[in-house]
Protein backbone atom coordinates (compact mmCIF):
# COMPACT_ATOMS: atom_id res chain seq x y z
CA UNK A 1 0.00 0.00 0.00
CA UNK A 2 1.43 3.35 -1.00
CA UNK A 3 0.69 6.05 1.55
CA UNK A 4 -1.02 9.17 0.19
CA UNK A 5 1.37 11.89 -0.84
CA UNK A 6 1.78 14.82 1.53
CA UNK A 7 0.14 18.07 0.46
CA UNK A 8 2.12 20.28 -1.86
CA UNK A 9 2.90 23.79 -0.71
CA UNK A 10 2.59 25.21 -4.22
CA UNK A 11 -0.71 23.72 -5.38
CA UNK A 12 -2.61 25.81 -7.98
CA UNK A 13 -5.47 28.04 -6.84
CA UNK A 14 -8.92 26.71 -7.73
CA UNK A 15 -11.05 29.86 -7.72
CA UNK A 16 -14.13 28.04 -9.02
CA UNK A 17 -13.96 25.74 -6.02
CA UNK A 18 -13.84 28.70 -3.67
CA UNK A 19 -16.92 30.15 -5.33
CA UNK A 20 -18.73 26.83 -4.93
CA UNK A 21 -18.31 27.08 -1.16
CA UNK A 22 -20.83 29.94 -1.24
CA UNK A 23 -23.30 28.21 -3.58
CA UNK A 24 -25.65 26.94 -0.81
CA UNK A 25 -26.23 30.54 0.27
CA UNK A 26 -27.30 32.05 -3.06
CA UNK A 27 -30.45 33.65 -1.64
CA UNK A 28 -28.64 35.41 1.20
CA UNK A 29 -25.82 36.46 -1.13
CA UNK A 30 -28.40 37.85 -3.54
CA UNK A 31 -29.95 39.86 -0.71
CA UNK A 32 -26.54 41.17 0.30
CA UNK A 33 -25.83 42.15 -3.30
CA UNK A 34 -29.14 43.99 -3.56
CA UNK A 35 -28.48 45.86 -0.32
CA UNK A 36 -24.99 46.78 -1.51
CA UNK A 37 -26.31 48.07 -4.84
CA UNK A 38 -29.03 50.11 -3.15
CA UNK A 39 -26.53 51.59 -0.69
CA UNK A 40 -24.19 52.55 -3.53
CA UNK A 41 -27.00 54.29 -5.45
CA UNK A 42 -28.09 56.20 -2.38
CA UNK A 43 -24.49 57.23 -1.68
CA UNK A 44 -23.98 58.86 -5.11
CA UNK A 45 -27.27 60.75 -4.78
CA UNK A 46 -25.73 63.06 -2.17
CA UNK A 47 -23.45 65.03 -4.60
CA UNK A 48 -26.41 65.68 -6.92
CA UNK A 49 -28.37 67.09 -3.97
CA UNK A 50 -25.32 69.19 -3.11
CA UNK A 51 -25.20 70.56 -6.66
CA UNK A 52 -28.86 71.51 -6.42
CA UNK A 53 -28.12 73.41 -3.21
CA UNK A 54 -25.18 75.34 -4.71
CA UNK A 55 -26.64 76.02 -8.18
CA UNK A 56 -30.34 76.49 -7.32
CA UNK A 57 -31.47 76.73 -3.69
CA UNK A 58 -28.80 79.16 -2.43
CA UNK A 59 -28.63 81.52 -5.46
CA UNK A 60 -32.47 81.69 -5.62
CA UNK A 61 -32.86 81.99 -1.80
CA UNK A 62 -35.42 79.18 -2.02
CA UNK A 63 -35.75 78.03 1.61
CA UNK A 64 -38.47 75.49 0.80
CA UNK A 65 -36.24 73.74 -1.74
CA UNK A 66 -33.25 74.01 0.60
CA UNK A 67 -35.21 72.47 3.47
CA UNK A 68 -36.47 69.57 1.36
CA UNK A 69 -32.98 68.85 0.03
CA UNK A 70 -31.47 68.92 3.55
CA UNK A 71 -34.20 66.56 4.84
CA UNK A 72 -33.55 64.25 1.87
CA UNK A 73 -29.82 64.21 2.68
CA UNK A 74 -30.49 63.29 6.32
CA UNK A 75 -32.98 60.57 5.34
CA UNK A 76 -30.48 59.15 2.85
CA UNK A 77 -27.84 58.97 5.60
CA UNK A 78 -30.25 57.13 7.95
CA UNK A 79 -31.39 54.66 5.30
CA UNK A 80 -27.82 54.02 4.17
CA UNK A 81 -26.73 53.25 7.75
CA UNK A 82 -29.68 50.88 8.28
CA UNK A 83 -28.90 49.07 5.02
CA UNK A 84 -25.27 48.75 6.11
CA UNK A 85 -26.30 47.09 9.40
CA UNK A 86 -28.55 44.55 7.65
CA UNK A 87 -25.96 43.88 4.96
CA UNK A 88 -23.23 43.33 7.59
CA UNK A 89 -25.47 40.92 9.49
CA UNK A 90 -26.33 38.87 6.41
CA UNK A 91 -22.75 38.77 5.10
CA UNK A 92 -21.47 37.59 8.48
CA UNK A 93 -24.11 34.85 8.59
CA UNK A 94 -22.99 33.62 5.16
CA UNK A 95 -19.31 33.87 6.05
CA UNK A 96 -19.63 32.00 9.33
CA UNK A 97 -21.70 29.24 7.71
CA UNK A 98 -19.02 28.81 5.03
CA UNK A 99 -16.32 28.68 7.73
CA UNK A 100 -18.32 26.11 9.69
CA UNK A 101 -18.88 23.92 6.62
CA UNK A 102 -15.19 24.08 5.73
CA UNK A 103 -14.02 23.22 9.25
CA UNK A 104 -16.51 20.37 9.49
CA UNK A 105 -15.53 19.04 6.06
CA UNK A 106 -11.81 19.02 6.92
CA UNK A 107 -12.40 17.34 10.28
CA UNK A 108 -14.74 14.73 8.77
CA UNK A 109 -12.23 14.02 5.99
CA UNK A 110 -9.39 13.56 8.46
CA UNK A 111 -11.54 11.18 10.49
CA UNK A 112 -11.65 8.91 7.43
CA UNK A 113 -7.88 8.80 6.97
CA UNK A 114 -5.94 5.68 7.91
CA UNK A 115 -3.22 5.63 10.54
CA UNK A 116 -0.64 6.07 7.77
CA UNK A 117 -1.58 9.73 7.37
CA UNK A 118 -1.28 10.51 11.08
CA UNK A 119 1.95 8.58 11.61
CA UNK A 120 3.73 10.80 9.10
CA UNK A 121 1.91 14.09 9.86
CA UNK A 122 2.61 16.15 12.96
CA UNK A 123 -0.48 16.72 15.06
CA UNK A 124 0.48 20.39 15.29
CA UNK A 125 0.38 20.56 11.49
CA UNK A 126 -3.18 19.22 11.45
CA UNK A 127 -4.23 21.68 14.15
CA UNK A 128 -2.62 24.53 12.24
CA UNK A 129 -4.59 23.76 9.08
CA UNK A 130 -7.86 23.82 11.01
CA UNK A 131 -7.08 26.69 13.38
CA UNK A 132 -4.55 28.97 11.67
CA UNK A 133 -5.43 28.47 8.01
CA UNK A 134 -9.20 28.33 8.29
CA UNK A 135 -9.06 30.94 11.05
CA UNK A 136 -7.02 33.17 8.76
CA UNK A 137 -9.78 33.01 6.16
CA UNK A 138 -12.42 34.20 8.59
CA UNK A 139 -12.15 37.92 7.95
CA UNK A 140 -12.05 37.29 4.21
CA UNK A 141 -15.21 35.19 3.99
CA UNK A 142 -17.18 37.12 6.63
CA UNK A 143 -16.45 40.76 5.77
CA UNK A 144 -13.61 41.31 3.34
CA UNK A 145 -15.34 39.92 0.26
CA UNK A 146 -18.52 41.82 1.09
CA UNK A 147 -16.57 45.02 1.65
CA UNK A 148 -14.80 44.41 -1.65
CA UNK A 149 -18.10 44.01 -3.50
CA UNK A 150 -19.56 47.00 -1.67
CA UNK A 151 -16.61 49.19 -2.50
CA UNK A 152 -16.57 47.94 -6.08
CA UNK A 153 -20.25 48.74 -6.49
CA UNK A 154 -19.71 52.16 -4.95
CA UNK A 155 -16.85 52.81 -7.36
CA UNK A 156 -19.02 51.79 -10.32
CA UNK A 157 -21.93 53.95 -9.22
CA UNK A 158 -19.59 56.88 -8.56
CA UNK A 159 -17.97 56.59 -11.98
CA UNK A 160 -21.40 56.58 -13.65
CA UNK A 161 -22.37 59.67 -11.64
CA UNK A 162 -19.11 61.39 -12.61
CA UNK A 163 -19.81 60.78 -16.30
CA UNK A 164 -23.32 62.13 -15.76
CA UNK A 165 -21.86 65.32 -14.32
CA UNK A 166 -19.07 65.83 -16.89
CA UNK A 167 -17.59 63.15 -19.13
CA UNK A 168 -14.37 65.10 -19.78
CA UNK A 169 -13.45 65.39 -16.12
CA UNK A 170 -14.45 61.75 -15.62
CA UNK A 171 -12.07 60.55 -18.35
CA UNK A 172 -9.24 62.63 -16.90
CA UNK A 173 -9.88 61.14 -13.47
CA UNK A 174 -9.98 57.52 -14.62
CA UNK A 175 -6.98 57.65 -16.96
CA UNK A 176 -4.61 56.40 -14.26
CA UNK A 177 -6.81 53.59 -12.90
CA UNK A 178 -5.35 50.77 -15.11
CA UNK A 179 -1.89 51.55 -13.72
CA UNK A 180 -3.24 51.28 -10.18
CA UNK A 181 -4.84 47.92 -10.96
CA UNK A 182 -1.55 46.60 -12.31
CA UNK A 183 0.23 47.74 -9.14
CA UNK A 184 -2.35 45.96 -7.00
CA UNK A 185 -1.92 42.66 -8.83
CA UNK A 186 1.83 42.81 -8.28
CA UNK A 187 1.35 43.46 -4.57
CA UNK A 188 -1.18 40.61 -4.34
CA UNK A 189 1.24 38.10 -5.85
CA UNK A 190 3.94 39.21 -3.42
CA UNK A 191 1.59 38.90 -0.41
CA UNK A 192 0.44 35.44 -1.51
CA UNK A 193 4.02 34.12 -1.57
CA UNK A 194 4.66 35.55 1.88
CA UNK A 195 1.41 34.06 3.21
CA UNK A 196 2.33 30.55 2.08
CA UNK A 197 5.65 30.75 3.91
CA UNK A 198 4.06 32.32 7.00
CA UNK A 199 1.46 29.55 7.31
CA UNK A 200 4.16 26.88 7.08
CA UNK A 201 6.07 28.57 9.88
CA UNK A 202 2.88 28.86 11.95
CA UNK A 203 2.37 25.12 11.48
CA UNK A 204 5.92 24.54 12.72
CA UNK A 205 5.13 26.71 15.74
CA UNK A 206 1.93 24.78 16.51
CA UNK A 207 3.73 21.45 16.15
CA UNK A 208 6.53 22.61 18.46
CA UNK A 209 4.02 23.67 21.13
CA UNK A 210 2.03 20.44 20.77
CA UNK A 211 5.10 18.24 21.09
CA UNK A 212 7.00 20.08 23.82
CA UNK A 213 4.29 21.53 26.09
CA UNK A 214 2.35 18.29 26.53
CA UNK A 215 2.82 16.30 29.72
CA UNK A 216 5.15 13.88 27.96
CA UNK A 217 7.06 16.72 26.32
CA UNK A 218 7.64 18.49 29.62
CA UNK A 219 8.82 15.27 31.27
CA UNK A 220 11.23 14.66 28.39
CA UNK A 221 12.62 18.19 28.35
CA UNK A 222 13.09 18.28 32.14
CA UNK A 223 14.77 14.89 32.36
CA UNK A 224 17.03 15.69 29.40
CA UNK A 225 17.67 19.30 30.52
CA UNK A 226 16.69 20.57 27.07
CA UNK A 227 14.31 23.35 28.17
CA UNK A 228 16.73 26.11 27.16
CA UNK A 229 17.31 24.58 23.72
CA UNK A 230 13.58 24.10 23.14
CA UNK A 231 12.89 27.68 24.20
CA UNK A 232 15.57 28.86 21.80
CA UNK A 233 14.08 26.86 18.92
CA UNK A 234 10.61 28.23 19.70
CA UNK A 235 11.96 31.77 19.91
CA UNK A 236 13.70 31.46 16.55
CA UNK A 237 10.56 30.18 14.82
CA UNK A 238 8.40 32.80 16.53
CA UNK A 239 10.82 35.52 15.44
CA UNK A 240 10.64 34.27 11.86
CA UNK A 241 6.84 34.36 12.01
CA UNK A 242 6.99 37.94 13.34
CA UNK A 243 9.31 38.97 10.50
CA UNK A 244 6.98 37.37 7.96
CA UNK A 245 4.01 39.20 9.48
CA UNK A 246 5.88 42.49 9.10
CA UNK A 247 6.83 41.61 5.52
CA UNK A 248 3.20 40.78 4.75
CA UNK A 249 1.96 44.04 6.26
CA UNK A 250 4.58 46.14 4.43
CA UNK A 251 4.49 44.31 1.09
CA UNK A 252 3.69 46.90 -1.56
CA UNK A 253 2.99 49.60 1.02
CA UNK A 254 4.94 52.24 -0.92
CA UNK A 255 3.20 51.28 -4.14
CA UNK A 256 -0.21 51.63 -2.52
CA UNK A 257 0.84 55.01 -1.11
CA UNK A 258 1.35 56.22 -4.68
CA UNK A 259 -2.31 55.41 -5.36
CA UNK A 260 -3.46 57.41 -2.32
CA UNK A 261 -1.32 60.40 -3.27
CA UNK A 262 -2.64 60.37 -6.83
CA UNK A 263 -6.27 60.28 -5.77
CA UNK A 264 -5.70 63.01 -3.17
CA UNK A 265 -4.23 65.24 -5.88
CA UNK A 266 -7.08 64.74 -8.35
CA UNK A 267 -9.56 67.25 -6.81
CA UNK A 268 -6.84 69.92 -6.87
CA UNK A 269 -6.21 69.08 -10.52
CA UNK A 270 -9.91 69.49 -11.33
CA UNK A 271 -9.98 72.91 -9.65
CA UNK A 272 -6.91 73.90 -11.65
CA UNK A 273 -8.50 72.76 -14.93
CA UNK A 274 -11.68 74.67 -14.15
CA UNK A 275 -9.69 77.80 -13.25
CA UNK A 276 -7.55 77.54 -16.36
CA UNK A 277 -10.63 77.15 -18.57
CA UNK A 278 -12.34 80.16 -16.97
CA UNK A 279 -9.24 82.35 -17.28
CA UNK A 280 -9.05 81.60 -21.01
CA UNK A 281 -12.61 82.64 -21.64
CA UNK A 282 -14.23 79.23 -21.42
CA UNK A 283 -16.68 77.86 -18.89
CA UNK A 284 -15.96 74.22 -18.33
CA UNK A 285 -18.60 73.53 -15.66
CA UNK A 286 -20.83 75.34 -13.19
CA UNK A 287 -19.69 75.91 -9.65
CA UNK A 288 -22.30 73.42 -8.37
CA UNK A 289 -21.12 70.78 -10.83
CA UNK A 290 -17.52 71.45 -9.84
CA UNK A 291 -18.32 71.02 -6.13
CA UNK A 292 -20.39 67.90 -6.80
CA UNK A 293 -17.66 66.40 -9.01
CA UNK A 294 -14.85 66.98 -6.52
CA UNK A 295 -17.11 65.53 -3.80
CA UNK A 296 -17.52 62.42 -5.94
CA UNK A 297 -13.75 62.32 -6.44
CA UNK A 298 -13.22 62.47 -2.71
CA UNK A 299 -15.74 59.72 -2.21
CA UNK A 300 -14.10 57.72 -4.96
CA UNK A 301 -10.76 57.74 -3.16
CA UNK A 302 -11.89 55.67 -0.18
CA UNK A 303 -13.70 52.87 -2.05
CA UNK A 304 -10.97 52.64 -4.72
CA UNK A 305 -8.32 52.37 -2.06
CA UNK A 306 -10.54 49.84 -0.29
CA UNK A 307 -10.96 47.81 -3.49
CA UNK A 308 -7.23 47.77 -4.12
CA UNK A 309 -6.34 46.96 -0.49
CA UNK A 310 -9.00 44.29 -0.09
CA UNK A 311 -8.06 42.83 -3.45
CA UNK A 312 -4.57 42.32 -2.08
CA UNK A 313 -5.98 40.66 1.07
CA UNK A 314 -8.21 38.34 -0.94
CA UNK A 315 -5.29 37.47 -3.21
CA UNK A 316 -3.08 36.58 -0.25
CA UNK A 317 -5.87 34.58 1.40
CA UNK A 318 -6.07 32.34 -1.65
CA UNK A 319 -2.94 30.64 -0.32
CA UNK A 320 -4.94 29.68 2.81
CA UNK A 321 -7.76 28.18 0.75
CA UNK A 322 -5.18 26.22 -1.21
CA UNK A 323 -3.63 24.75 1.94
CA UNK A 324 -7.04 23.65 3.25
CA UNK A 325 -8.06 22.18 -0.10
CA UNK A 326 -4.83 20.16 -0.08
CA UNK A 327 -6.05 18.33 3.02
CA UNK A 328 -9.52 17.84 1.55
CA UNK A 329 -7.90 16.40 -1.60
CA UNK A 330 -5.60 14.01 0.24
CA UNK A 331 -6.77 10.57 -0.93
CA UNK A 332 -8.73 8.52 1.58
CA UNK A 333 -7.17 5.05 1.61
CA UNK A 334 -9.90 3.56 3.79
CA UNK A 335 -12.97 4.21 1.67
CA UNK A 336 -16.28 3.26 3.22
CA UNK A 337 -18.41 0.92 1.11
CA UNK A 338 -20.95 2.61 -1.17
CA UNK A 339 -23.51 -0.09 -0.37
CA UNK A 340 -22.47 -1.63 2.99
CA UNK A 341 -23.89 -4.92 4.08
CA UNK A 342 -27.01 -4.44 6.20
CA UNK A 343 -26.62 -4.66 9.95
CA UNK A 344 -28.58 -7.93 10.06
CA UNK A 345 -26.07 -9.59 7.72
CA UNK A 346 -23.15 -8.15 9.67
CA UNK A 347 -24.48 -9.36 13.05
CA UNK A 348 -22.23 -12.39 13.23
CA UNK A 349 -20.74 -14.86 15.68
CA UNK A 350 -17.25 -13.50 15.16
CA UNK A 351 -15.24 -16.00 13.11
CA UNK A 352 -12.20 -14.10 11.83
CA UNK A 353 -10.16 -15.10 8.80
CA UNK A 354 -7.00 -13.75 7.20
CA UNK A 355 -7.01 -15.02 3.64
CA UNK A 356 -3.61 -14.68 1.89
CA UNK A 357 -3.07 -11.25 3.44
CA UNK A 358 -0.04 -9.16 2.55
CA UNK A 359 0.72 -5.63 3.70
CA UNK A 360 3.53 -3.08 3.64
CA UNK A 361 3.79 0.39 5.14
CA UNK A 362 6.36 1.26 2.51
CA UNK A 363 7.18 -1.18 -0.32
CA UNK A 364 10.76 0.11 -0.34
CA UNK A 365 11.24 -1.41 3.11
CA UNK A 366 9.83 -4.82 2.25
CA UNK A 367 6.64 -6.55 3.36
CA UNK A 368 5.42 -6.17 6.95
CA UNK A 369 3.02 -9.10 6.53
CA UNK A 370 3.58 -11.65 3.79
CA UNK A 371 0.85 -14.10 2.65
CA UNK A 372 -0.80 -14.59 6.02
CA UNK A 373 -3.40 -17.37 6.19
CA UNK A 374 -5.12 -17.70 9.56
CA UNK A 375 -8.57 -18.85 10.62
CA UNK A 376 -9.93 -18.00 14.07
CA UNK A 377 -13.18 -19.89 14.69
CA UNK A 378 -15.92 -18.06 16.57
CA UNK A 379 -15.44 -18.15 20.33
CA UNK A 380 -11.78 -19.21 20.19
CA UNK A 381 -8.56 -17.40 21.02
CA UNK A 382 -5.64 -16.84 18.69
CA UNK A 383 -2.43 -15.68 20.35
CA UNK A 384 0.10 -13.94 18.11
CA UNK A 385 3.71 -13.97 19.27
CA UNK A 386 7.06 -13.13 17.80
CA UNK A 387 10.05 -10.88 18.08
CA UNK A 388 9.74 -7.10 17.97
CA UNK A 389 9.04 -5.97 14.41
CA UNK A 390 7.66 -9.33 13.30
CA UNK A 391 4.26 -7.81 12.38
CA UNK A 392 2.17 -8.70 15.44
CA UNK A 393 0.62 -5.28 16.00
CA UNK A 394 0.08 -4.78 12.28
CA UNK A 395 -1.96 -7.98 12.20
CA UNK A 396 -4.20 -6.47 14.88
CA UNK A 397 -4.49 -3.20 12.94
CA UNK A 398 -5.71 -5.10 9.88
CA UNK A 399 -8.21 -7.06 11.98
CA UNK A 400 -9.67 -3.75 13.22
CA UNK A 401 -9.44 -2.22 9.73
CA UNK A 402 -7.17 0.58 10.78
CA UNK A 403 -5.40 -0.30 7.53
CA UNK A 404 -6.48 -2.29 4.49
CA UNK A 405 -4.31 -5.15 3.22
CA UNK A 406 -2.44 -4.64 -0.03
CA UNK A 407 -3.54 -8.13 -1.06
CA UNK A 408 -5.95 -10.70 0.31
CA UNK A 409 -8.93 -10.17 2.61
CA UNK A 410 -9.71 -9.93 6.30
CA UNK A 411 -13.23 -11.14 7.05
CA UNK A 412 -15.64 -11.80 9.90
CA UNK A 413 -17.97 -14.74 9.28
CA UNK A 414 -17.13 -14.56 5.60
CA UNK A 415 -17.87 -10.84 5.36
CA UNK A 416 -14.99 -8.74 4.07
CA UNK A 417 -14.36 -5.92 6.54
CA UNK A 418 -14.32 -3.51 3.60
CA UNK A 419 -17.98 -4.36 2.95
CA UNK A 420 -19.14 -3.39 6.45
CA UNK A 421 -20.14 0.11 7.56
CA UNK A 422 -17.82 1.63 10.14
CA UNK A 423 -20.55 1.56 12.80
CA UNK A 424 -21.06 -2.17 12.27
CA UNK A 425 -17.34 -2.89 12.37
CA UNK A 426 -17.01 -0.93 15.61
CA UNK A 427 -19.91 -2.90 17.11
CA UNK A 428 -18.22 -6.17 16.14
CA UNK A 429 -14.62 -5.44 17.14
CA UNK A 430 -13.17 -4.12 20.38
CA UNK A 431 -9.52 -3.10 20.68
CA UNK A 432 -7.31 -2.67 23.74
CA UNK A 433 -3.92 -1.48 22.55
CA UNK A 434 -0.60 -1.18 24.34
CA UNK A 435 -0.82 2.62 24.00
CA UNK A 436 -3.91 3.73 25.90
CA UNK A 437 -5.51 6.99 24.82
CA UNK A 438 -7.82 8.80 27.24
CA UNK A 439 -9.61 12.07 26.61
CA UNK A 440 -9.16 15.10 28.84
CA UNK A 441 -12.54 14.45 30.47
CA UNK A 442 -14.03 12.62 33.43
CA UNK A 443 -13.63 8.90 34.02
CA UNK A 444 -17.33 8.43 33.28
CA UNK A 445 -17.07 10.37 30.00
CA UNK A 446 -14.09 8.29 28.93
CA UNK A 447 -15.96 5.07 29.59
CA UNK A 448 -19.13 6.32 27.89
CA UNK A 449 -17.07 7.14 24.80
CA UNK A 450 -17.53 3.44 24.00
CA UNK A 451 -21.23 3.44 24.85
CA UNK A 452 -22.86 6.87 25.27
CA UNK A 453 -26.14 5.46 26.62
CA UNK A 454 -24.51 3.36 29.36
CA UNK A 455 -26.05 3.66 32.82
CA UNK A 456 -24.06 4.32 35.98
CA UNK A 457 -24.60 0.71 37.00
CA UNK A 458 -23.12 -0.50 33.73
CA UNK A 459 -20.09 1.75 34.22
CA UNK A 460 -19.53 0.30 37.67
CA UNK A 461 -19.89 -3.27 36.39
CA UNK A 462 -17.39 -2.69 33.57
CA UNK A 463 -14.91 -1.00 35.91
CA UNK A 464 -15.30 -3.83 38.40
CA UNK A 465 -14.57 -6.43 35.75
CA UNK A 466 -11.42 -4.48 34.82
CA UNK A 467 -10.30 -4.33 38.46
CA UNK A 468 -10.43 -0.50 38.53
CA UNK A 469 -13.73 0.28 40.32
CA UNK A 470 -12.25 0.39 43.82
CA UNK A 471 -9.57 2.85 42.74
CA UNK A 472 -12.10 5.11 41.01
CA UNK A 473 -14.41 5.03 44.04
CA UNK A 474 -11.54 6.05 46.34
CA UNK A 475 -11.00 9.30 44.40
CA UNK A 476 -12.62 12.46 45.84
CA UNK A 477 -14.78 12.94 42.74
CA UNK A 478 -15.21 9.25 41.93
CA UNK A 479 -16.34 8.69 38.36
CA UNK A 480 -16.46 12.49 37.84
CA UNK A 481 -12.68 12.71 38.28
CA UNK A 482 -11.02 14.39 35.29
CA UNK A 483 -8.26 12.11 34.02
CA UNK A 484 -6.04 14.95 32.73
CA UNK A 485 -4.34 15.20 29.37
CA UNK A 486 -4.09 11.70 27.90
CA UNK A 487 -4.92 10.29 31.33
CA UNK A 488 -1.64 11.33 32.96
CA UNK A 489 -3.30 11.59 36.37
CA UNK A 490 -3.34 7.79 36.36
CA UNK A 491 -0.48 5.33 36.15
CA UNK A 492 0.16 3.30 33.02
CA UNK A 493 -1.49 0.23 34.52
CA UNK A 494 -4.50 2.24 35.69
CA UNK A 495 -4.92 3.79 32.25
CA UNK A 496 -4.80 0.36 30.69
CA UNK A 497 -7.43 -0.94 33.08
CA UNK A 498 -9.66 2.00 32.15
CA UNK A 499 -9.20 1.10 28.49
CA UNK A 500 -10.14 -2.50 29.25
CA UNK A 501 -13.24 -1.31 31.11
CA UNK A 502 -14.16 0.78 28.10
CA UNK A 503 -14.06 -2.25 25.81
CA UNK A 504 -15.90 -4.40 28.35
CA UNK A 505 -18.66 -1.78 28.34
CA UNK A 506 -18.93 -1.97 24.56
CA UNK A 507 -19.25 -5.79 24.75
CA UNK A 508 -18.10 -6.71 21.20
CA UNK A 509 -18.08 -10.30 19.86
CA UNK A 510 -14.47 -9.95 18.64
CA UNK A 511 -11.63 -8.75 20.89
CA UNK A 512 -8.20 -7.58 19.80
CA UNK A 513 -5.82 -7.35 22.72
CA UNK A 514 -2.55 -5.73 21.70
CA UNK A 515 -0.34 -6.49 24.71
CA UNK A 516 -3.29 -5.37 26.86
CA UNK A 517 -1.56 -6.21 30.13
CA UNK A 518 1.93 -5.01 29.21
CA UNK A 519 1.85 -2.01 31.56
CA UNK A 520 0.64 -3.94 34.61
CA UNK A 521 2.54 -5.34 37.54
CA UNK A 522 2.44 -9.12 37.99
CA UNK A 523 -0.25 -9.11 40.67
CA UNK A 524 -2.59 -6.78 38.76
CA UNK A 525 -1.84 -8.63 35.55
CA UNK A 526 -3.09 -11.87 37.05
CA UNK A 527 -6.30 -10.21 38.25
CA UNK A 528 -6.99 -8.51 34.92
CA UNK A 529 -6.07 -11.63 33.00
CA UNK A 530 -8.89 -13.36 34.84
CA UNK A 531 -11.23 -10.54 33.83
CA UNK A 532 -10.06 -10.79 30.25
CA UNK A 533 -10.47 -14.56 30.29
CA UNK A 534 -14.02 -14.12 31.54
CA UNK A 535 -14.66 -11.42 28.91
CA UNK A 536 -13.21 -13.60 26.17
CA UNK A 537 -15.48 -16.52 27.03
CA UNK A 538 -17.61 -17.35 23.98
CA UNK A 539 -15.96 -14.48 22.10
CA UNK A 540 -13.35 -14.52 19.37
CA UNK A 541 -10.10 -13.12 20.71
CA UNK A 542 -6.88 -12.17 18.97
CA UNK A 543 -4.26 -11.65 21.68
CA UNK A 544 -0.99 -10.06 20.65
CA UNK A 545 1.45 -10.82 23.40
CA UNK A 546 5.02 -10.20 24.41
CA UNK A 547 4.89 -12.21 27.62
CA UNK A 548 4.22 -15.79 26.64
CA UNK A 549 2.90 -16.56 30.12
CA UNK A 550 -0.37 -14.88 29.08
CA UNK A 551 -1.01 -17.07 26.00
CA UNK A 552 -0.57 -20.64 27.27
CA UNK A 553 -4.30 -21.36 27.21
CA UNK A 554 -4.94 -19.97 23.75
CA UNK A 555 -6.64 -22.33 21.31
CA UNK A 556 -4.06 -21.39 18.67
CA UNK A 557 -0.71 -19.68 18.82
CA UNK A 558 0.75 -18.14 15.66
CA UNK A 559 4.46 -17.41 15.66
CA UNK A 560 5.40 -14.56 13.33
CA UNK A 561 8.85 -13.93 11.92
CA UNK A 562 9.49 -11.13 9.42
CA UNK A 563 5.82 -10.99 8.52
CA UNK A 564 5.31 -14.72 7.97
CA UNK A 565 3.59 -17.37 10.08
CA UNK A 566 6.38 -19.85 10.74
CA UNK A 567 4.59 -21.95 13.39
CA UNK A 568 0.95 -22.54 14.30
CA UNK A 569 -0.57 -24.71 17.01
CA UNK A 570 -1.40 -24.78 20.70
CA UNK A 571 1.15 -24.36 23.47
CA UNK A 572 1.93 -28.03 23.98
CA UNK A 573 2.21 -28.72 20.26
CA UNK A 574 4.61 -25.85 19.67
CA UNK A 575 6.76 -26.66 22.69
CA UNK A 576 7.01 -30.25 21.47
CA UNK A 577 8.03 -28.95 18.05
CA UNK A 578 11.10 -27.44 19.73
CA UNK A 579 11.30 -24.59 17.25
CA UNK A 580 10.95 -20.81 17.37
CA UNK A 581 8.12 -20.85 19.93
CA UNK A 582 10.03 -23.13 22.28
CA UNK A 583 12.98 -20.73 22.08
CA UNK A 584 10.69 -17.78 22.87
CA UNK A 585 9.23 -19.66 25.87
CA UNK A 586 12.70 -20.36 27.20
CA UNK A 587 13.65 -16.70 26.84
CA UNK A 588 10.42 -15.57 28.48
CA UNK A 589 11.10 -17.79 31.48
CA UNK A 590 14.54 -16.28 31.90
CA UNK A 591 13.09 -12.75 31.77
CA UNK A 592 10.48 -13.60 34.42
CA UNK A 593 13.14 -15.18 36.63
CA UNK A 594 15.37 -12.12 36.38
CA UNK A 595 12.40 -9.81 37.04
Query: The CATH number of 15-328 is which of 1.10.150.20, 1.20.1560.10, 1.20.1420.20, 1.10.10.10?
Result: 1.20.1560.10
Domain with CATH 3.40.50.300 in the chain: 348-594
pTM strictly above 0.75:
no
Burial 249-273 (b: 16+ CB within 10 A, else e): eebbeebbeebeebbeebbeebeeb
Query: What pLDDT was estimated at residue 120?
Result: 76
Mean pLDDT by 10 residues, the chain (595 residues): 43 72 83 80 78 82 86 88 84 82 84 78 74 72 66 74 77 71 67 73 73 61 67 80 74 63 70 70 68 72 62 66 82 78 66 94 86 92 88 90 91 90 85 79 88 90 86 89 75 81 87 72 66 74 79 89 92 90 74 39
Query: What pLDDT was estimated at residue 371?
Result: 93
Query: What pLDDT was estimated at residue 6?
Result: 43
DSSP state of 331: P
Query: What pLDDT was estimated at residue 65?
Result: 86
DSSP state of 142: I
Domain with CATH 1.20.1560.10 in the chain: 15-328
Query: What pLDDT was estimated at residue 2?
Result: 42
Query: What pLDDT was estimated at residue 521?
Result: 63
Distance CA 526, CA 530 (A): 6
Distance CA 564, CA 371 (A): 7
Distance CA 399, CA 286 (A): 87
Report residue 225: phi and psi, to 5°. Answer: 55, 45
Question: Could you say which architecture CATH assigns to the domain 348-594?
Answer: 3-Layer(aba) Sandwich (3.40)
Amino acid sequence: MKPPKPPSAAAPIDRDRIVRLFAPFRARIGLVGALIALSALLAVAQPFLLRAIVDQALPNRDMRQLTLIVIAMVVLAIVTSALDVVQTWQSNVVGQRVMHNLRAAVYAHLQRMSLAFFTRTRSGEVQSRIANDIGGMQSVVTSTVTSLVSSGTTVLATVVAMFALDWRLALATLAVVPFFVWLTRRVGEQRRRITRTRQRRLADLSAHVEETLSVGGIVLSRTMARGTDLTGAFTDTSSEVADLEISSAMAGRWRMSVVSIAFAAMPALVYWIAGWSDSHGGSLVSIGTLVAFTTLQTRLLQPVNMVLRLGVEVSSSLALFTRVFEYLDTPVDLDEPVAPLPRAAAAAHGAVRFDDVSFSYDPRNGMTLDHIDLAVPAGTTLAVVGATGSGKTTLGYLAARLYDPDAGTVSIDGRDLRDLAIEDRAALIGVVSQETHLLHASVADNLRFARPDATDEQLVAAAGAAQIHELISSLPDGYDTVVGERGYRFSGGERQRLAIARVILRDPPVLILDEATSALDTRTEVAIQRALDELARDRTTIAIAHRLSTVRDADQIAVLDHGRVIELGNHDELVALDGAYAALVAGDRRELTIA
